[in-house]
Chain A
């Protein structure tokens, strides 16, 4: 008997309206993936302002849509919306159930991914190195604003085995949210590498919500049916690991070999060795058959033993940024924008404001394509200059933006400012420091607690 899983969320800010479509179609598990790398940084800023925050604020909206079905025994919810404060998120879940007058729901909280308070202790027991540059932990620009390990499926499986209806975690690897219910339902063992790989691949296909149902599809994107009613994907997974990827009927969108393969390689490095906490999955082993009618069959996924480490992501302060925009029209739009960038930088230098990094983009010319845009002598009808800069402190970053404003009257002709942040509030930049940590240093700290809503 296949287990049906719905991918109800792809990021913090996604739409809870997806939940109704998935529940109507019938899913045994609704998995809500809320955390991108950037999200933890946003949640960290949130927690800095208010200690009771640090989880995704739209969690109650998702749960309000899902909990009636949970209370009716129709589905269970698994989410990493706990961010860097799963305890507060679980509290919000319980409050939401109370608000809806629902009881008899068991909420589980998974803790142990947060390494912030014991980073030095870990660094004393293991040699932490930057995953990309190889730099030692001694070079990490402390303090860590957050430090989270990417946990696997095990604690979620434990929570489900203990009777959880809603599982709230912090940083768990995206695909593990989806693998866990498959392990639980099918009784897969944690050394059944092929099945763990199959479940991980399915999770990867579902974790970005609309992206496997026609969202962000390159090429014939304009042929996607009713793209304003794009559904979120469903996987029906059998005990042998084979799966059907599909979508709620009567919705827009499309599930095809092409939409699925687009998602298969999304944010993947080596597709033959997709590293997850639970398994090393070989995505190149998967066999896909497009059965038509928005049904894609996935079989034959192979995997190998998991590594001895978890990935962890550390975050540090990295200065302050400001940004300003100014637009020019024909004639000489691009030349005016280029000259304005230089004049602006010289004004800032003249004002004695130290800038650590400049970045200029000509929108309408090559802001996005950069060096890949072929050189052209064609006149562009209009150009927007976007200037961004990094300074050591917020005040300087703000003062730099002020130097753009006088150019409205004192720069090349007919520049229009006032679009963008300009002299507005500067924003804090955050550096990411990925590393690997021995599982033995993490696992003893992982806990699962359950609370029944009464």
Chain B
């Protein structure tokens, strides 16, 4: 068994807010990884991963129709959007923070790595405007 980050396994993410709750969705790339994360990424594991960022409970829900797990992080936004002192007062970046989590995977998946973003088009645009 090797430890691999969820992001390197191909998982996607999106986070949203409701009051002081952060809802973080985790999307698997295929059924095989979905079953892996379903077994490994428990509510307790996620609670531990976020440490002091999340002072309340963590609940987990399954959405197998879209190969996703949905995590509800209670007391996770420093009091909620308009009350929070955090720069990311809505927790928009907590999805990315989730896929940093590492899980044990079989040897066949051990070498999986996230692709390198190709932003050549952006560099080209910026060079055109003189940057």
* Chain A residues proximal to chain B, CB less than 8 Å: 36-38, 41, 131-132, 216-223, 257-258, 261-272, 283-288, 315, 318, 321, 323, 357, 359, 361, 363, 367-374, 386, 388-390, 429-432, 434
Contacts and interface: CB of A to CB of B under 8 A. Distances in A.
A388 B89 CA distance: 12
B83 A431 contact: yes
B81 A372 contact: no
Interface residues of B: mostly helix, strand, loop or mixed? mixed
Contact of B63 (A265, A367, A432): A265
B83 A432 contact: yes
Given A367-B87, A372-B100, A388-B85, A431 B80 contact: yes
Contact of A269 (B18, B66, B121): B18
B101 interface: yes
Contacts of A221: 117
A370 B114 CA distance: 22
Contacts of B51: 370-372
A218 B49 contact: no
Interface of B: 10, 12-14, 16-21, 23, 25, 27, 49-53, 59, 61-68, 70, 72, 74-75, 78-83, 85-88, 90, 93, 95-101, 114-115, 117-119, 121-122
Contact of A222 (B70, B78, B117): B117
B82 A430 contact: yes
Contacts of A359: 78, 85-86
A271 B72 CA distance: 11
B119 A222 contact: yes
Given A321-B85, A372-B51, A218 B12 contact: yes
A131 B56 CA distance: 14
A223 to B, nearest CB: 8
A331 to B, nearest CB: 25
A287 B50 contact: no
Contacts of B88: 367-368
B66 A261 contact: yes
Contacts of B65: 284-288
Contacts of A216: 14
Contact of B53 (A219, A286, A370, A432): A370
19 contacts: A37-B19, A217-B12, A218-B14, A218-B99, A220-B115, A222-B118, A265-B14, A265-B25, A265-B63, A266-B14, A269-B18, A271-B68, A369-B96, A369-B100, A370-B52, A370-B97, A371-B52, A374-B100, A432-B80
